[in-house]
């Protein structure tokens, strides 16, 4: 059985992604604070996000040293069209 395709999330401007990544890397945030930062970023772009899903994504991104392309992919997984 085919699952419905998730609506396409925008490609965020590279400067915005770079700024978010820089904040996540250099601010010394714990996973809760980083999840709030990601939630705020997505909300500012008009998307909803589960804080729990954001914390899971933060853990995943930390473990693999996420690039901008990876960050975009993770945000696409998290973003809920409102």
Secondary structure (DSSP) of 10-71: P---HHHHHHHHHHHHHS---HHHHHHHHHHHHHHTTEE--HHHHHHHHHHHHHHT--HHHH
pTM value is 0.79
Residue 43 has a pLDDT of 92
Work out the average pLDDT over 34-47.
92
Residue 6 lies in a domain: no
Question: What does pLDDT average to over the chain?
Answer: 82
Residue 7 belongs to a domain: no
For residue 49, is it within any domain? yes
Instruction: Read off the pLDDT of each residue in 34-40 and give the average, rounded to a whole number.
Output: 92
Q: In which domain, by residue range, is 75 found?
A: 14-81
Grouping H, G, I as helix, E, B as strand and the rest as coil, residue 27 is coil
Assess if residue 5 is contained within a domain: no
Report yes or no on 2 lying in a domain: no
Question: Looking at the 3D structure of the chain, how many domains does it have?
Answer: 1
How many DSSP H helices and E strands does the chain contain?
4, 2
Above 70 in pLDDT, residue 1? no
């Amino acid at each position: 059985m085919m699952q419905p395709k998730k609506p396409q999330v925008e490609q965020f401007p590279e400067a915005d992604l770079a700024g978010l990544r820089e904040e996540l890397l250099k601010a010394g945030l714990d996973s809760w604070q980083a999840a709030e930062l990601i939630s705020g970023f997505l909300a500012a772009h008009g998307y909803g996000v589960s804080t729990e899903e954001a914390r899971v994504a933060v853990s995943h991104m930390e473990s693999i040293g996420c690039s901008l392309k990876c960050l975009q992919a993770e945000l696409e997984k998290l973003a809920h069209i409102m």
